[in-house]
Amino acid sequence: RLKPFNRLQVILQHLKMSKHTDSTAEVLLEKRGGAGIITLNRPKALNALNLSMIQQIYPQIKTWEQDPETFLIIIKGTGGKAFCAGGDIRAITDAGKVEDRLAQDFFREEYTLNNAIGTCKKPYVALIDGITMGGGVGLSVHGHFRVATEKTLFAMPETAIGLFPDVGGGYFLPRLSGKIGYYLALTGFRLKGRDVLKAGIATHFVESEKLPALENDLIALKSPSAENIADLLNSYHVKSKVDQEKEFVLDEHMEKINSLFSANSMEEIVKKLKQDGSPFAIKQLETINKMSPTSLKITLRQLREGASMSLQDVLTMEYRLSQACMRGHDFYEGVRAVLIDKDHSPRWKPAALEEVSDEFVDNCFKPLGNNDLKL
């Protein structure tokens, strides 16, 4: 048998080893050269973000922010399919049904992390290779640099599950050019590859296979400034030729998107789409008709208000909305229809836009007193 001291040494050695080489950890945090690297490591779950990952990432970002030897932060996902497909919705649903604290804690801590990324003093580089939706957008879009690849698939599909495009969606979506953000938020439309850059969500485009080289070059930079990092990213961006000639997928529809989605209410948007009657408008109507009427109304107001708010105020507002959704019906029904039973025929309550009163929507935006998110 080992002597107590030796046994402790073995345990410590094992802990030390497992910390660095444990491929089962849900998130890997390491320092290489001047870079802090966050690797989302749940490939089977498409790197979906859960509470324990958030609780590991947040303090690490805060530590690196203060560390004079850390010059930038890189975040990426494993498995080749996804950067991060979203938040761990199943866990939140289960918790919300039994009024477990997780339904409060998850959103509170996730939005606090989104804010930490948005206010991070060190350049923050998100390599959004593969599926990047919902919570994955929150981990990337508020940072300084977002590098898309030909494999990037971006969407904010929350209105289909009785939620709203959160994680600061009320901040970045209305700031995209024209009414693209409103269109993406209400319809859940998916952008792919270079279109993620053209829409203004990514800052750079680099071929997926070049990412390891880019990462090594970022790590090798000696005491870089934000400008040095931008120059390096630009040099990769300029060389990438994939889909360079293709025009933006929404180009031909931009005029319609800008006029149809500039209405003041969901009812008016629907009316405009009906009046327009073009194949594009009819397709959008079909999509919108599948979404939660409550979510659509909340989302439109969230974006209209968020357009002139700070990120902090938007996240505070979104936390109120998240808790309203946890108290409601549609979120649980949407998750059932899309993720659990997968019958894709949710029974929304109320079932029509006209039945969602202004008073109900107002209530979703009301402050929560001591339970408000404090940033």
Here the CATH number for the domain that contains residue 123 is 3.90.226.10
What is the model's pLDDT at position 193? 98
What is the model's pLDDT at position 13? 57
Query: Is the residue at 10 inside a domain?
Result: no
Output the six-digit token pair for 98. Answer: 């039994």
pLDDT in tens, 14-38: 555 444 545 689 999 999 999 999 9
Query: Is the residue at 218 inside a domain?
Result: yes
According to DSSP, the β-strands at 124-128 and 72-77 are parallel
Query: Is the residue at 1 inside a domain?
Result: no
What residues make up the domain containing 284?
24-371
For residues 58 and 336, give the distance between their C-alpha atoms in angstroms, rounded to a whole number. 30
Flag the least confident range among 89-93, 129-133, 253-257, 312-316.
89-93
Specify the residue for token string 């948007």. Answer: 269
Query: Is the residue at 80 inside a domain?
Result: yes
For residues 49 and 139, give the distance between their C-alpha atoms in angstroms, rounded to a whole number. 9
Residue 143 is a catalytic residue: no
Tell whether the model's pLDDT for residue 8 goes beyond 90. no
Tell whether the model's pLDDT for residue 360 goes beyond 80. yes
State mean pLDDT over 266-294. 98
The catalytically annotated residue of 34, 77, 87, 143 is 87
The catalytically annotated residue of 135, 138, 168, 188 is 135
What is the model's pLDDT at position 18? 46
> Given its phi and psi angles, is residue 167 left (phi above 0), alpha (psi -120 to 50 degrees) or beta?
left
Residue 158 is a catalytic residue: yes
The radius of gyration computed from the CA coordinates of the chain, to the nearest angstrom, equals: 22
Domain tally, the chain: 1
Tell whether the model's pLDDT for residue 212 goes beyond 50. yes
Query: Is the residue at 97 inside a domain?
Result: yes
For residues 168 and 249, give the distance between their C-alpha atoms in angstroms, rounded to a whole number. 24
Angle (nearest 5°) at CA 142 between 138 and 145:
115
Query: Is the residue at 326 inside a domain?
Result: yes
Where does the pLDDT of residue 6 fall: very low under 50, low under 70, confident under 90, or very high at 90 and above? Answer: low
The catalytically annotated residue of 88, 110, 129, 166 is 166
State mean pLDDT over 339-364. 97
Nearest partner of 299 among 158, 134, 113, judged by Cα: 158
Query: Is the residue at 9 inside a domain?
Result: no
Check: CB of residue 351 under 8 Å from CB of residue 293: yes
The catalytically annotated residue of 158, 215, 318, 330 is 158
Residue 135 is a catalytic residue: yes
Q: Is 77 helix (H, G, I), strand (E, B) or coil?
A: strand
Predicted TM-score (pTM) of this structure? 0.93
In single-letter form, the type of residue at position 62 comes to: K
Query: Is the residue at 249 inside a domain?
Result: yes
Please list, in sequence order, all residues whose beta carbon lies within 8 angstroms of the beta carbon of residue 54, skipping any fewer than 6 positions away.
Answer: 106, 109, 110, 113
Q: Is 178 helix (H, G, I), strand (E, B) or coil?
A: coil
